[in-house]
């Protein structure tokens, strides 16, 4: 039987500090949450998939209204932001109201931005329901919508009042969505914590079997790492960039695949392989660590067949958000498992060469 029921992680940001509460079964307690009692008007935003599965729990909560939108990245748009605002205006939310976000990163990003902008900012609470949102997007206060010209182009840094995480909800999550989160979990281990990396290796089968204790441990560890980083560098002026390890090449791949057919966590696994190889070629990291990272990705079943793509389009997609000076780009590269460094002199030839090396690896074809 699982024995570890709850953990708390504190995000220390002065007057914007908050707790991340991780507990199996929290979704069953929506009706009695103390946090909601502090507000006169409490409304919720969720997507129709989550509403369908958790209607009973959501309807039992004291929400004045539940705004439901369709699932999917397309709703991180101005049109849906306007819809959310319209509901907030119609129900006459005031500055002392609370918006509760129940969903994955899409609901969290869109709803967080709605909370940040309505009457110059009202309180909101995150109840993340995907592994990715539980270990990453619900923590740290990045809120946004997309613009036709780019992802997350419009947004604000705006912290929630609290985060409530129920690992049990991952049992209804499609397996590929779970793996999307696992890519981020490996990222946290490689950038910051070698013993966590070893734990992931040893516990892979329990994690993949969704054992509650292991889920609580990995969520708490990732949130602790993110809370530490955000506590030092809330607005990404420096250190916070390490959370982008693996994401430069991942974004290039997602872009050339037009965000279809490759889950984010798979793209991050691909990106970590490309970026670790660059570090290996530069003599920054030992080949044995590169092999260890590959072994963990395989053990956690982050394997997939990378669709074929044009290298020039991929490189230009990477350069769009990573351009530094002349022909060089900024990348986060590992020095060892548990430590990374930000370098701004990565050239296109080494990215192309490393990418070809990754594409030859059995994990990615």
| Catalytic residue list | 120, 142, 184, 226, 236, 240, 244, 247, 251, 264
Which of the choices ligand GLY, ligand NAD, none does residue 130 contact, using the CB cut-off of 5 to 8 A by kind? ligand NAD
Residue (235 or 282) nearer to ligand GLY, CB = 235
User: Among residue numbers 214 through 243, which ones bind ligand GLY (CB under 6 A)?
Assistant: 236, 240, 243
Q: Tokens at residue 223, please?
A: 């949130």
Residues touching ligand GLY, count (CB under 6 A) = 6
Pattern of binders to ligand GLY over 124-163, x per CB under 6 A? ------------x---x-x---------------------
Q: How far is Cα 47 from Cα 67, in angstroms, rounded to an integer?
A: 8
Closest contact distance (angstroms) between CB of 236 and ligand GLY is 6
Q: Tokens at residue 7, please?
A: 């953990």
DSSP 29: G
Residue (180 or 293) nearer to ligand NAD, CB = 180
Closest contact distance (angstroms) between CB of 93 and ligand GLY is 27
Of the candidates 178, 167, 215, 222, which has an alpha carbon nearest to the alpha carbon of residue 196? 222
Where helices occur in the chain by DSSP H, the ranges are 34-37, 48-60, 78-90, 105-117, 131-132, 175-192, 194-208, 212-232, 247-256, 264-281, 287-299, 311-322, 348-360
Closest contact distance (angstroms) between CB of 40 and ligand NAD is 28
CB 96, CB 44: distance < 8 Å: no
Q: What is the CA radius of gyration of the chain?
A: 20
Q: What is the largest CA-CA distance in the chain?
A: 60
Backbone angles phi, psi at 40, to 5 degrees: -75, -45
Q: How far is Cα 338 from Cα 195, in angstroms, rounded to an integer?
A: 8
Which of the choices ligand NAD, ligand GLY, none does residue 180 contact, using the CB cut-off of 5 to 8 A by kind? ligand NAD
Which of the choices ligand NAD, ligand GLY, none does residue 254 contact, using the CB cut-off of 5 to 8 A by kind? none
Residue (152 or 357) nearer to ligand GLY, CB = 152
Residue (123 or 166) nearer to ligand NAD, CB = 166
Which of the choices ligand NAD, ligand GLY, none does residue 240 contact, using the CB cut-off of 5 to 8 A by kind? ligand GLY
- Measure Cα distances from 340 to 86, 219, 247, 265, 266 in Å: 44, 21, 14, 19, 20
Alpha carbon of residue 89 to chain centroid: 30
Backbone angles phi, psi at 210, to 5 degrees: 60, 40
Residue (30 or 223) nearer to ligand GLY, CB = 223
Residues that bind ligand NAD (CB under 6 A): 47, 49-50, 53, 71, 73, 76, 103-107, 109, 129-130, 132-133, 136-137, 140, 142, 152, 169, 172-173, 177, 180, 264
Using CB under 6 A as the criterion, which residues of the chain lie in contact with ligand GLY when the complex forms? 136, 140, 142, 236, 240, 243
């Amino acid at each position: 039987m699982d024995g570890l029921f709850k953990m708390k992680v504190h995000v220390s940001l002065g007057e914007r500090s908050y707790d991340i509460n991780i507990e199996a079964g929290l979704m069953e307690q929506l009706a009695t949450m103390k946090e909601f009692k502090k507000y006169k008007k409490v409304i919720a935003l969720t997507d129709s998939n989550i509403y369908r599965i958790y209607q009973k729990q959501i309807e039992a909560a004291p929400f004045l209204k539940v705004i439901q939108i369709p699932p999917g990245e397309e709703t991180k748009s101005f049109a849906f932001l306007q819809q959310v605002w319209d509901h907030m205006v119609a129900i006459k939310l005031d500055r002392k109201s609370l918006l509760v976000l129940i969903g994955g990163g899409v609901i969290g990003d869109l709803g967080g931005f709605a909370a940040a902008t309505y009457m110059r900012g009202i309180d909101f609470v995150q109840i993340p329901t995907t592994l990715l949102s539980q270990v990453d997007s619900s923590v740290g206060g990045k809120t946004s919508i997309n613009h036709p010209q780019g992802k997350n182009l419009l947004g604000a840094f705006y912290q929630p009042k609290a985060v409530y995480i129920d690992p049990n909800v991952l049992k209804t999550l499609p397996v590929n969505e779970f793996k999307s989160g696992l890519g981020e979990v490996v990222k946290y281990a490689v950038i910051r914590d070698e013993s966590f990396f070893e734990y992931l290796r040893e516990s892979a089968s329990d994690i993949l079997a969704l054992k509650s204790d292991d889920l609580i441990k990995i969520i708490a560890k990732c949130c602790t790492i993110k809370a530490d980083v955000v506590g030092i560098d809330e607005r990404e002026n420096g250190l916070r960039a390490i959370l982008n390890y693996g994401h430069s090449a991942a974004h290039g791949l997602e872009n050339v695949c037009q965000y279809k057919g490759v889950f984010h966590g798979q793209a991050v696994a691909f990106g970590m392989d490309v970026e670790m190889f660059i570090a290996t070629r530069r003599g920054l990291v030992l080949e044995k660590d590169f092999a260890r990272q590959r072994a963990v990705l395989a053990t956690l079943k982050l394997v997939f067949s990378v669709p074929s793509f044009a290298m020039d389009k991929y490189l230009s997609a990477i350069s769009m958000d990573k351009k530094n000076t002349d022909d060089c780009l900024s990348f986060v590269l590992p020095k060892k498992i548990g430590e990374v460094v930000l370098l701004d002199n990565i050239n296109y030839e080494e990215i192309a060469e490393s990418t070809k090396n990754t594409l030859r690896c059995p994990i990615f074809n």
